[in-house]
Structure 1
Amino acid sequence: MQEAQLDFYRRLAHALALQFGSGCEVVVHDLETKDPSHSIVAIENGHVTGRKVGDGPSHVVLEALHAGEHTLEDRPAYLTKTADGKTLKSSTVFIRDERGRAVGIFALNFDITVLRAAGDLIGELVGTEPSAPHEPEPIVRSVADLLDDLIEQSVQLVGTPVALMTKEEKVRAIRYLNDTGAFLITKSGPKVCKYFGISKYTLYSYLDEARSGEKDA
């Protein structure tokens, strides 16, 4: 690589290392070096992999050195592992000259070992039984809010706006409200009647039909 390129990528590596902290190793490889076994020309936070300037190439770099130009593709966000067991999230970007030839590699290796362990722990803490509902169940502040929520759930269950519901769909919604105990809430009947645009008599009729359907089942 030309010295101007090296200078830019050295400064970029230093800035990224400062930006993301000591767990982020940034490496610059020179693919035009006369000695491929010493391809690293710049490195920040080398303690992540235990490497330093003048050290040799990684597996990815070796592939690049031996592959044809047409096979070289950037590799963003893949997992790698160090000899001492660290898990890294790595990205490899080829540096190209004005003719498109790969002349270097700019690589990021971010140590996610602790983050993955924390993620596993968080997954356990927030996990639920496999049979539990996927959507969080709402915790309401009053029985009025609870009734509103149950009515909305009954409409979602039917999947049709109230104004377009058939009698059968309204019966289904009323059955859901009955099954969830909505009618145990004081003055729930008038509110349900108003919401579904039915009379008190019709509500009782729908309830009888809903309960009759349960017995038949």
Structure 2
Amino acid sequence: MEQLAAHPNRVLLQSYFPMASFIASIIGPKCEVVVHDISDPEHSIIFIENGHISGRKVGDGSTDLVLKLLKGGAYREQQFITNYKARGSHGQAFRSSTYFIKNDGEELVGLMCLNIDISHLDVAAEWIQHVLLGGSLSAPAELNAPEENPAAEYLQGNVDDLLHDMITSVLGKVSVPPERLSSKEKMDIVKELNELGVFLMKGGVSQVAKALSISEPTVYRYLQKLK
């Protein structure tokens, strides 16, 4: 592991590394624990235990939820958020929690995130309930039912893939091709993507411009009008 610079915020974040290892050891190999440095969204992961679960590593970027938290400021009113759903790049289901790491000035400097892989637990729980209630051993219909509560976070370390996923998700809400959208509609999309934190990433502007079939200066002009 590379030696972190002796900046107060980095020293504070480094102090959470033993706690992250401690938590991962208690819960076991299906629990990923990550420490993020929010000063560098594109390479925010500075420590990770059991990264094989999501396929992420030190030096990978923030998630969509991290970006949304940075833009929304929920950390100002609370110290942590717990037990929300997340999904992995290979379709895994996670139960996740995030602790907001703040400095002495109550400024957010990092996050410690726990992601517990519950993919098999969900299926096992359904089967156990089904067997206890009686009936055949075929899989319950609920296992094939649509997800009613979509994941709140996408555990993806690759910045380009994350941006593509976020942009595609927003564009999926409109029923016409991007090139047929009006300027007002495109600006509304830029506004929503901005609120999600897409433009905190260096590649955000270029990817959004390409997706909306507009120029990068146009994206910057839309962003300026939103201020």
**TM-score, L = length of structure 2:** 0.52
**8 Å Cα contact 1:92/1:108 also seen in 2:** yes
Gaps of 5+ in 1: 130-217
Q: Distance in 2 between matches of 1:66 and 1:78?
A: 19
Task: State whether residues 69 and 102 of structure 1, in contact with CA within 8 Å, keep that contact through their aligned partners in structure 2.
Answer: no
- After superposing on structure 2, the runs of 4+ consecutive aligned residues of structure 1 that deviate more than 6 Å are none
Provide the alpha-carbon RMSD of the alignment: 1.9
Assess if the C-alpha contact under 8 Å between 2:94 and 2:119 holds in 1: yes
Letter of the structure 1 residue corresponding to residue 54 of structure 2: T
Note the C-alpha offset of 1:66: 2.5
Distance in 1, Cα, partners of 2:100 & 2:63: 14
2:30 corresponds to: 23
- % of aligned pairs identical? 39
Structure 2 counterpart of 1:96:
102
Instruction: Tell me: higher relative CO, structure 1 or 2? Use CA pairs within 8 A at least 6 residues apart.
Output: 2
- Structure 2 counterpart of 1:58, one-letter code: T
Contact 2:9/2:103 (8 A) holds in 1: no
Cα distance, 1:128 vs structure 2: 4.9
Count of aligned pairs between the two proteins:
127
Task: Confirm or deny that 1:10 pairs with 2:17.
Answer: yes
Aligned counterpart, 2:68: 63
Q: Which has the larger radius of gyration?
A: 1
Give the conservation status (yes or no) of the 8 Å contact 2:46–2:59: yes
Counterparts in 2 of 1:69 and 1:116: CA distance versus 1, 3 Å: closer
Change (3 A) 1:70 1:54: closer
Partners of 1:114 and 1:52 in 2: CA distance: 23
For residues 77 and 100 of structure 2, what CA distance do their matches in structure 1 show?
8
Name the aligned partner's letter for residue 128 of structure 2.
I
- Per the alignment, residue 41 of structure 1 pairs with 46
Write out per-residue CA displacement over residues 107-156 of structure 1, whole angstroms, 9 at most, x where no aligned residue. Answer: 00000111111101101111158xxxxxxxxxxxxxxxxxxxxxxxxxxx
1:69 to 1:123, Cα distance in 2 relative to 1, 3 A = closer
Flag structure 2 segments of 5+ consecutive residues without an equivalent. Answer: 1-7, 136-227
1:109-128 map, 5 Å: 109-128=115-134
Aligned equivalents of 2:18, 2:67: Cα separation in 1: 25
- For 1:94 and 1:117, the matched residues in 2 are separated by 31
CA distance in 1, matches of 2:12, 2:36: 12
Task: Name the aligned partner's letter for residue 66 of structure 1.
Answer: K
Q: Which residue of 2 aligns with 1:81?
A: 87
